[in-house]
Amino acid sequence: MRATLSADFRIIFERDPAARNWLEVLLCYPGLQALLFYRLCHWLYNLGLPFIPRFISNIARFLTGIEIHPGANIGKGVFIDHGMGVVIGETAIVGNYALIYQGVTLGGTGKESGKRHPTLGENVVVGAGAKVLGNLQIGNSVRIGAGSVVLRDVPSECTVVGVPGRIIYRSGVRVDPLEHGSLPDSEANVIRALVDRIESLEGQLQDLQRQQSWTASVVSTVSSDSNGSENSNHTDHTDQSCRLEDKEIQEFLNGSGI
pLDDT tens for 137-151 read 999 989 998 889 999
pLDDT digits (tens, 9 = 90+) for 149-193: 999 898 888 888 888 877 776 654 555 555 555 555 666 666 777
Dihedral, 81, 82, 85, 91 alpha carbons, nearest 10? 30
158-161 vs 137-138, strand pairing mode: unpaired
What's the CA gap between 202 and 194, in Å, rounded? 12
pLDDT by residue for the chain (258 residues), tens only, comes to: 788 888 888 899 888 888 888 898 889 999 999 999 999 999 999 999 889 999 999 999 999 999 999 999 999 999 999 889 999 999 999 999 999 999 999 998 877 788 999 999 999 999 999 999 999 999 998 999 888 999 989 888 888 888 887 777 665 455 555 555 555 566 666 677 777 788 888 888 888 888 888 887 777 776 766 665 444 444 444 444 445 556 656 655 665 444
The pLDDT of residue 189 is 67
Strand order in the sheet with 149-150: 67-68, 87-88, 105-107, 131-133, 149-150
pTM for this predicted structure: 0.69
Residue 215 backbone dihedrals phi, psi, to 5 degrees? -65, -45
Query: Across-strand partners of 87?
Result: 67, 105
Q: So what's the architecture of 2-182 in CATH?
A: 3 Solenoid (2.160)
